[in-house]
């Protein structure tokens, strides 16, 4: 899948889907990687986790934007 742009809380971000099911999130303005996120699917719903320099709340917001873009 090709990279695409999302806007979360006024921040333009680039999303790079990776082959292992994770998503690399980069700041479009600074051009640096902020986090790698992955969806965790449970009976209660989809939760977004990851590694990087963003809060869990921001990871969830980004994850919801990714999900909305891909459905």
**44, 45, 47, 50, 59 from 35: Cα distances, Å:** 24, 21, 15, 7, 9
> For residue 62, what pLDDT is reported?
95
For residues 28-50, give the mean pLDDT: 90
> For residue 29, what pLDDT is reported?
77
Q: Using 50, 70 and 90 to split pLDDT, how confident is the model at 31?
A: confident
Domain extent at residue 56: 4-70
Share of the chain above pLDDT 90, in %: 76
Go through the chain and tell me how many residues it has.
Answer: 71
Give me the number of domains the chain comprises: 1
Whether residue 30 has pLDDT greater than 80: no
Are 40 and 46 spatial neighbours (Cβ–Cβ below 8 Å)?
yes
For residues 42-67, give the mean pLDDT: 92
> For residue 68, what pLDDT is reported?
92
């Amino acid at each position: 899948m090709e990279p695409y742009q999302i806007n979360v809380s006024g921040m333009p971000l680039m999303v790079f889907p990776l082959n292992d099911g994770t998503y690399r999130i980069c700041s479009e303005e600074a051009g640096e990687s902020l986090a790698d996120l992955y969806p965790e699917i449970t009976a209660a719903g989809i939760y977004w986790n990851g590694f990087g320099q963003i809060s869990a709340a921001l990871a969830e917001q980004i994850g919801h934007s990714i999900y909305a873009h891909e459905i």
